[in-house]
Every structure is written in structure tokens, then in C-alpha cells.
Amino acid sequence: MPDPSPYLFPPVAPQRSGMLPVDELHTIYWEEVGNPQGIPVIFLHGGPGAGLSPQHRRFFDARHYRVILFDQRGAGKSTPLGETRNNTTQLLVSDIERLRELMGIDKWLVFGGSWGSTLALAYGETHPERCLGFVLRGIFLCTPLEIDWFIDGAQWFHPEIHEEFAAAIPADEQGDLLQAYYKRIMDDDPAVYWPAVRGWSRFEGRRVFLLPQPDEPPCDTLDLGLGRLEAHYMANLGFFEEDQLLKNVERIAHLPAVIVQGRYDVICPPFTAWRLHKRWPGSVVKMVPDAGHGAMEAGISRELVAATEQFRRFGRFE
């Protein structure tokens, strides 16, 4: 993978961070970087369950942006890790509002990729009056068609990866891999759920980039958060009504938006980004010709930084 660092801003450390209890079960980790008087922006990570990375702070010029980042329920440093109880899209939206109020922010730019784009749209359509605009990457609307593509569409481009994923499931259950994995991932026995969450995480991770990358060593936090929460949300269709996010786009259609999409994204294919763009006439699509799904692929990181810089200068996208 080409090094995206030439397109990203220099590494920056949080000025503040903390843990925010959001109910009797969940406490979420948050951090703030940049200029306290800068343009407020909320960063929404992917997955669900993938959690934050220090690289995520680097899409924004810290001299001009006030960046709020947080680990969503069950992800990263939030506790309990991998917890699916009291974990729905609607509750995540309420957590974002809790953070906005905690920070004393009136309106902010909403930045999200992959599942983060799903959550960004859900938040915006619920609280359009709190949004300045949107920077979205690798669009995922959490429809049955997209979920089926994520699970079984993989075999069209990565048959060997799909075959390995299916081989961990008995033959009589391979007709519904989502439910088969979901049952094992939610099992109470570590001997059952650890192989399942690791298999799920590997299945996704090996398809993120356009060009093959070295296999990452297992990471307990990522594997458990990603495996449990992705299976949970996909099995429940994101807690949305049918095509809900697309049907409600008119609630935010007056706001500026840029959509950054890898041409060869096999996790969240371009068709979904195009569907969203067609319902959002004021949106701008940046189709990256040499990229897959990864935010750190050079072309995608370049366009994301260009988008935050355009919004900083002009309050819109071109």
C-alpha cells in the first residue's frame, strides 16, 4: 500500500480525553484534539466495533479544527468491550448528542467512513439542526443487499477468502453464514466465540485494500469488538427500517456533503455511494480510481484531507 502519510497532517496528541458513562452498562472513551476555537468536527469510526486509531486525528488541520473522536459502545477503550446489550444505532446517535452537549458545541461537521458513514447519516437525519455538513467515505446503508454482498458477494472477487470463512462452519449451516457466525460469536464459551470473532475479523481485513497487505497479527480488542458488533448490527439490519437512510436523505439534503469512494471497494461497492449521491443532488462524489475500501489508501486519504481543507476554507465542497 502506498504510504498515505504525505497526504495526512502530522501526528497530534489529544489535549483532553475522558470516559463518559452513557447508561448503567456502557461507558464511552472520548478524546479532543486541535484548536479549541476551531471548526468543530465529530469523527465516527467504522466497523461497527473497529474503534479509534491515532491516524484518524490526521485528516484534520489541528490549527483550524476542534476534533472530537470517540470509541462507540463496545469498541476500543469503551467498556464493556464487545458488549451488544443496549447497543443500537439509535443509542449511538444519542451518545453523539451527549458528547456534543458535554463539549458545549452548537453545530459540527460530521465525518465518517464505512459504518461511520452509516452512523453519520443516521445522526444527521435525526439532528439535522446540529450539522454543518458531511465528509463520508465508503458508503454503507446497512441494507439486506449490502449485507448479503459483504458475506457472500465476497466469493466473486475473493473466492479463496470466502471458502476459508465458510469452512469453519459445518456444511449444513453454510447456507446462512451470517446466522451461523452470529450464533457462535454470541456464545458464552470463549472456546467457541474466539475462533469465530477472529475468523470474522480476518475475513473482512483481508479484503479492505485494493492491493494485498501483510496479514496483521491477531488483536483481541479489534477482533472482539469488530466481530461481535458487526455480526450484531448486520443480524439486526442496523436497527433500521427498509432503506431508511436513503428515504430520509431529504432531511439533510440542504447541507454540503462530499462522498469519497474507492472504485474497487469490495466491502462497500460504489453502487451504494452512487445511490446516495443521486438522492442528494448537492453532494459531491470523489471516485478514487486506484483504491479499495481503506481510509489509509493513498488516494482516499488524499481526497479526505482535500475535503476537510475545502470545508475549512469555503464551508462547502467542490
Q: Are residues 113 and 208 in the same domain?
A: no
Q: Of 204, 238, 272, which residue constitutes the final position of a domain? A: 238
Q: Are residues 41 and 99 in the same domain?
A: yes
State the CB neighbour count (10 A cutoff) for residue 316: 14
What is the spatial distance between Cα 95 and Cα 161, in angstroms, rounded to a whole number?
35
Q: Are residues 102 and 16 in the same domain?
A: yes
Q: Are residues 211 and 305 in the same domain?
A: no
Burial of 173-186, coded b for 16+ CB within 10 Å and e otherwise, reads eeeebbebbbbbbb
Q: Are residues 191 and 260 in the same domain?
A: no
109: domain CATH number?
A: 3.40.50.1820
Catalytic residue among 232, 265, 283, 301: 265
CA angle centred on 44, ends 41 and 45, rounded to 5°:
140
Q: Of 204, 220, 238, which residue constitutes the final position of a domain? A: 238
Domain extent, residue 206, equals 144-238
The Cβ-side half-sphere exposure at 42, using a 13 Å CA radius, reads 34
State the CB neighbour count (10 A cutoff) for residue 279: 15
- Asked if 196 and 184 touch (Cβ cutoff 8 Å), the reply is yes
The tally of domains found in the chain comes to 2
Catalytic residue among 56, 95, 114, 162: 114
Q: Are residues 127 and 218 in the same domain?
A: no
- Per-position pLDDT tens, the chain of length 318: 556 768 999 999 999 999 999 999 999 999 999 999 999 999 999 999 999 999 999 999 999 999 999 999 999 999 999 999 999 999 999 999 999 999 999 999 999 999 999 999 999 999 999 999 999 999 999 999 999 999 999 999 999 999 999 999 999 999 999 999 999 999 999 999 999 999 999 999 999 999 988 887 889 999 999 999 999 999 999 999 999 999 999 999 999 999 999 999 999 999 999 999 999 988 999 999 999 999 999 999 999 999 999 999 999 888
Q: Are residues 213 and 252 in the same domain?
A: no
The yes-or-no answer on residue 265 being catalytic is yes
Return the axis-axis angle of helices 190-205 and 159-167, rounded to nearest 10°. Answer: 170
Q: Of 238, 258, 286, which residue constitutes the final position of a domain? A: 238
The yes-or-no answer on residue 293 being catalytic is yes
